[in-house]
Amino acid sequence: DIETTKWEKISPKSEFYLFIPREETLLKAYEKYPKITEVFILSNVGIVTARDNLTIHWSAEEAWTTVLNFSKMDNELARQAYNLGKDARDWKVEFAQKDLIESGLDKRKIIPILYRPFDIRYTYYTGRSRGFICMPRPEVMQHMMQENLGLVTVRQVAEGIFNHSFITDSIIESRLTLSNKGIAFLIPLYLYLDIDKKDLFSHKKEVEKRKPNIDSKILRLLSEVYSKEAPAEQIFYYIYAVLYSNTYREKYAEFLKIDFPRVPFTKDHKLFCRMAGYGNKLVELHLLKASELENPVTKFRGKGENDVEKVRYEKSCVYINNDQYFEGVHPEVWEYQVGG
The pLDDT tens digits for 230-252 are 999 999 999 999 999 999 999 99
- Mean pLDDT score, 209-233: 95
**Over 70: is that where the pLDDT of 181 sits?**
no
Q: What is the pLDDT of residue 187?
A: 97
Give Cβ neighbours of residue 165 (< 8 Å, ≥ 6 apart): 151, 152, 153, 177, 240, 243, 244, 261
Identify the top-confidence range among 150-159, 181-190, 301-310: 301-310
**pLDDT value at residue 208:** 75
What pLDDT score does 8 carry?
86
Distance CA 184, CA 321 (A): 33
pLDDT beyond 70 at 198: no
Residue 160 has pLDDT above 90, yes or no: no
pLDDT at 96 over 70: yes
Q: Which residues contact 256 (CB under 8 A, 6 or more apart)?
A: 157, 162, 249
What lies within 8 Å, CB to CB, of 14 at 6+ separation is none
Question: Does residue 15 have a cis bond before it (omega within 30 degrees)?
Answer: yes
Using CA atoms, how far apart are residues 39 and 33, in angstroms rounded to an integer? 10
Number of Cα atoms under 13 Å in the Cβ half of residue 112: 12
Q: Which residues contact 134 (CB under 8 A, 6 or more apart)?
A: 48, 49, 50, 51, 88, 90, 91
* pLDDT score of 206 more than 80: no
For 171: left if phi > 0, alpha if psi spans -120 to 50, otherwise beta; the answer is: beta
Residue 194 has pLDDT above 90, yes or no: no
Q: How many CB atoms lie within 10 A of CB 89?
A: 8
* Helical (H) or strand (E) element with 100: helix 93-102
CA distance to 6, 57, 109, 178, per residue, from 69 (Å): 69, 14, 16, 31
- 218-227 contacts, C-beta under 8 A, 24 or more apart: 218/34, 218/38, 218/39, 222/265, 225/265, 225/267, 225/269, 226/269, 226/272, 227/269
Is the per-residue pLDDT at 277 higher than 80?
yes
Position with higher pLDDT, 163 vs 134: 134
Q: Is the pLDDT confidence value at 173 over 90?
A: yes
State the Cα torsion 63-69-75-79 to the nearest 10°: -50
Q: For 109-124, what is the mean pLDDT?
A: 95
Q: How many residues does the chain have?
A: 340
Of the candidates 287, 275, 226, 221, the one whose C-alpha atom is nearest the C-alpha of residue 248 is: 275
Res 163: pLDDT: 87
For the cut 80, the answer to whether the pLDDT of residue 159 exceeds it is: no
User: Average pLDDT in the 295-322 region?
Assistant: 93
Which residues partner with 144 through β-bridges?
Answer: none
Is residue 179 predicted with pLDDT exceeding 80? no
User: What was the pLDDT predicted at 172?
Assistant: 96
Which of 167-181, 259-273, 288-302 tops mean pLDDT?
259-273
Q: Is 80 exceeded by the pLDDT of residue 200?
A: no
Q: What is the mean pLDDT of the chain?
A: 91
Give the model's confidence band at 193: pLDDT under 50 very low, under 70 low, under 90 confident, else very high.
confident
pLDDT band at 17 (very low <50, low <70, confident <90, very high): confident
Cα Rg for the chain, rounded, in angstroms?
23
> In this predicted structure, what is the pLDDT of residue 68?
96
Higher pLDDT, 10 or 127: 127
pLDDT at 180 over 70: no
d(CA 225, CA 272): 11
**What does the pLDDT read at residue 295?**
73
Q: Count Cβ atoms below 10 Å from residue 264 Cβ, excluding itself.
A: 15
